[in-house]
Amino acid sequence: MQALTSRQQDDVVTTLQDLQQTLLSKLAAVDGSALPQFRSWERSGGGGGTMGVLRGTVVEKAGVNVSSVFGSDYREDAFAARGEQGEDFFATGLSTITHMYNPHAPIGHMNVRLFNVGERLWFGGGADLTPFLPYAEDTQDFHQSLRVHCEQFDRDYYPRFAAWCDQYFFIPHRQQVRGVGGIFFDKLRGDFSRNLAFIVGVVTAYSEVYPRIIARRKDLAFTEALKEEQLYWRGRYAEFNLIYDEGTKFGLKSGGDVEAIFVSLPPVVKW
C-alpha cells in the first residue's frame, strides 16, 4: 500500500470532522441544556486538531476530538528522540469519552484511527461501555448495535473484536475488566475504502446507540450517597487512561495537545 495522497488524507479528516459534529449534536440534544464548545490546536511537528467539549446538566462532560498529525519521526516502539531518524507518517483519528452526571447513566467511549507510516497503512479503534450501575438492557443494546455493524463486513469481526476489547481493557492492578465491553481492533489492513467504511460505521453505530442509552437513564432518581460512590468508582477509569491506554501514550509521545488528550478524564473523581 502506497502512502495516501494529500487529497485522500484531507477526505478522511473531513469525514471525521463531520462525524464529530454529528455526535456532539446528538449528545447536546439528549442533554438539552448546553451547546458544544470547540478549540483548535496545532502540533509543532506538523498537524493539529479540534477539541469539542460539552458540559451540561445531564452530560457532565463529553469530549469529542479529531486530530490529524504528520511528520518524519515515527518508530514502531516510540517516537524518535530529537535528532534520531524516524519514518514519515500521517495519523488521524476521532475519539470520544462521555461522563454522565446521573450514576445510572454509563460512561461511553469510542475511537477510530488511521495510520500511514511509509507505505504501511492500517486502521484501528473500538467502542466500549462502562456503567457504574449496569443494566442488562443497555449492555445488550450496545453490543447488538456493534454486532450488526460488524457482521455487515465480516462475521468473524464481532466475536474477535469483542474478545479483544475485554483483553485490552483489563486493569491488572484491579484484576477487573473495565465495564461491560464492546469491540476493540487494531492493525486492520486491506482494502482502503472498505476499511474506511468500517470505521465510519463504528462511529455511526455508536452515535445512535449511546445517546439512546443516555436518554433511558438520565432522569432516574439517585441519592447523594450513590453519587459519592460513583465518584470513587470513576477513579478506576482514570487509572486505566493514565497508566495503560495506548491512545493517551500516543498523544503525549507525538506532541499532541495536552488538554485534548486529558479531556478523557472524569470532571470530578475521588480516591
1 found inside a domain:
no
**d(C-alpha 270, C-alpha 84), whole Å:** 41
Tally the domains of the chain: 1
Domain boundaries, position 91: 6-264
158 found inside a domain:
yes
3-class state of residue 193 by DSSP: helix
Any idea which residue has 443494566 for its cell?
135
77 found inside a domain:
yes
The band of 75, judged by pLDDT with boundaries at 50, 70 and 90, is low
269 found inside a domain:
no
CATH number at residue 259: 3.40.1500.10
Please state the rounded mean pLDDT for residues 66-75.
Answer: 86
Mean pLDDT of the chain: 92
What is the per-residue pLDDT across 128-146, written as a single tens digit (0 to 9) for each? 999 999 999 999 999 999 9
Write down the catalytic residue from 99, 109, 143, 149: 109
109 classed as catalytic: yes
Inform me whether the pLDDT recorded for 78 exceeds 60. no
**d(C-alpha 239, C-alpha 165), whole Å:** 17
A 10 A CB-CB count for 174 gives 12
Distances from the Cα of 146 to the Cα of 18, 125, 162, 203, angstroms = 20, 13, 9, 10
The band of 35, judged by pLDDT with boundaries at 50, 70 and 90, is very high
pLDDT at 85: 61
The band of 14, judged by pLDDT with boundaries at 50, 70 and 90, is very high
**d(C-alpha 49, C-alpha 43), whole Å:** 8
What is the per-residue pLDDT across 42-58, written as a single tens digit (0 to 9) for each? 998 899 999 999 999 99
Say what the pTM is. 0.92
184 found inside a domain:
yes
124: left (phi over 0), alpha (psi -120 to 50) or beta: beta
65 found inside a domain:
yes
Please state the rounded mean pLDDT for residues 183-206.
Answer: 97
